[in-house]
Amino acid sequence: MSVIQTRGLSKRYKDRWAVDRLELVVEQGDIYGFIGQNGAGKSTTLKLLCGLARPTQGEALIFGKPVRDSVARRRVGALIEQPGLYPDLSGRENLRLYAALLGLDNPERQVGEILKTVGLSPKEKKPVRHYSMGMKQRLGVALALLGGPDLLLLDEPINGLDPEGIREMRELLLGLNRERGLTILVSSHILGELSKIATRYGIIQQGRMVEQITAVELEQKCADYLHLRPSQPEMAAALLERELHLKRWEMRPEGEIRIYEAADTRAVGQVLAQAGIAVEEMGLHRQDLEGYFLERMGGNDHV
């Protein structure tokens, strides 16, 4: 059973579709990296999944139940945009209030444990308004973890964290996923960091899902490849496949051929030259994850 499944999920604000017929599937145990440009609809999607916004069309299921199902809701912890914290109260008191809202047994003990889990001191008394950005982010994650959820929805959880904080957050999320079996949906702009933890990715653009791909598939797609731009692409591709027995190659829409297996550049050039096919461009390419995402989103715009 999918932990999250959306069917044609759409949200319209005035004259703009923030989320447009989104099909998103998150499986049990996934760390799902949700990627998209600013304004692509990531936060709106998370709000729809949390019930903070109502869909204009379509539906979202969590643990197979509608978002509004109270039992399913109790299994979800969320950190949407900035952590929502009362600035005049201490971090502990904020958690204590949330524990009261959840109706937890023995809240003091649970709050103390969660604070330790996210690396904050349970004895910290100062009000949240004096916390650093990193401390607030940790506290936001602590709020999401309170009550022992099975699914975590985290919107930009490493925003404002220093490198050490980012590393700690990564280890925390990995630990929660491995040790407690938590399914985590995390949106982030820091793709390099995301690629260290995600097991599945969803790329969203203008409210629509461009691609959902597992980390393994992505790894294969991002492997080194030989690219060439011949004058007659279709003929060249057929020739190379026949002559060099190529199996892993693809034809790009712009007429570029990519060969993902070890191929001798000289042999490729020779085969094409003998057939009278001119090669405008040829070279080895190494693509990283960020490059792949940028390419899928249609250019080098800011992610």
Partner 1 sequence: MFNMLRMDLRRLFKSRSFYIILSVTAVLLVMVTVMAYTVADPEMMDAMEAQGAEITESDRVMSEYIQNMSQLDLMHETLGSGFLLVMTGIGMTLFVNGDFSSGFIKNICCVNLCRRNYVLSKITLAGIYSGIITVLSVLLMLLVPALIHMYPAPDSIARILQYTFWMWLPHWAFSLMAVALVLLTRNTTLGIILSLVAGSGLTAALVGTLGRLLRWPPLEQYFLAAVVKGVYTPESGIAPIGIALACTITWSAVYGIGSLLLMEKRDI
Tell the smallest beta-carbon distance from residue 110 to partner 1 (Å): 15
Binding of residue 142 to partner 1 (CB under 8 A): no
Q: Which of 16, 39, 64, 68: binder of partner 1 (CB under 8 A)?
A: 68
Whichever of 24 and 76 has its CB closer to partner 1, that residue is: 76
Whichever of 84 and 175 has its CB closer to partner 1, that residue is: 84
DSSP states of 130-174 as a string?
GS-HHHHHHHHHHHHHTT--SEEEEESTTTT--HHHHHHHHHHHH
Rounded to whole angstroms, the Cα distance separating 299 from 281 reads: 20
Q: Which of 2, 25, 89, 206: binder of partner 1 (CB under 8 A)?
A: 89
Binding of residue 130 to partner 1 (CB under 8 A): no
Q: Which of 3, 85, 191, 198: binder of partner 1 (CB under 8 A)?
A: 85
Q: Which of 76, 151, 222, 259: binder of partner 1 (CB under 8 A)?
A: 76
Q: Which of 59, 81, 288, 295: binder of partner 1 (CB under 8 A)?
A: 81
Binding of residue 173 to partner 1 (CB under 8 A): no
> How do 16-22 and 2-13 pair as beta strands?
antiparallel
Q: Which two tokens stand for residue 254?
A: 């712009």
Distances (CA, A) of 57 to 12, 14, 68, 265, 300: 9, 14, 15, 52, 31
Rounded to whole angstroms, the Cα distance separating 35 from 171 reads: 20
Q: Which of 22, 40, 120, 143: binder of partner 1 (CB under 8 A)?
A: 143
Binding of residue 50 to partner 1 (CB under 8 A): yes
Distances (CA, A) of 261 to 66, 216, 281, 295: 45, 17, 18, 21
Q: Which stretch binds partner 1 (CB under 8 A): 72-80, 227-235, 259-267, 287-295?
A: 72-80
Binding of residue 47 to partner 1 (CB under 8 A): yes
Q: Which of 9, 19, 91, 96: binder of partner 1 (CB under 8 A)?
A: 96
Q: Which of 16, 28, 38, 84: binder of partner 1 (CB under 8 A)?
A: 84
Q: Count the site residues for partner 1 by CB under 8 A.
A: 33
Tell the smallest beta-carbon distance from residue 86 to partner 1 (Å): 5
Binding of residue 12 to partner 1 (CB under 8 A): no
Binding of residue 157 to partner 1 (CB under 8 A): no
In the DSSP assignment, the letter for residue 127 is B
* Host H or E run for residue 212: strand 208-214
Q: Which of 24, 60, 61, 80: binder of partner 1 (CB under 8 A)?
A: 80
Please list, in sequence order, all residues whose beta carbon lies within 8 angstroms of the beta carbon of residue 8, skipping any fewer than 6 positions away: 21, 22, 23, 57, 58, 59
Binding of residue 93 to partner 1 (CB under 8 A): yes
Please list, in sequence order, all residues whose beta carbon lies within 8 angstroms of the beta carbon of residue 35, skipping any fewer than 6 positions away: 42, 187, 188, 191, 194, 201, 202, 203, 204, 293, 303
Whichever of 68 and 126 has its CB closer to partner 1, that residue is: 68
Binding of residue 75 to partner 1 (CB under 8 A): no
3 state SS of 3: strand
* Host H or E run for residue 210: strand 208-214
Binding of residue 133 to partner 1 (CB under 8 A): no
Rounded to whole angstroms, the Cα distance separating 9 from 122 reads: 40
**Residue ranges that bind partner 1, judged by CB under 8 A:** 47, 50-54, 67-68, 70, 73-74, 76, 78, 80-89, 93-94, 96-98, 100-103, 143
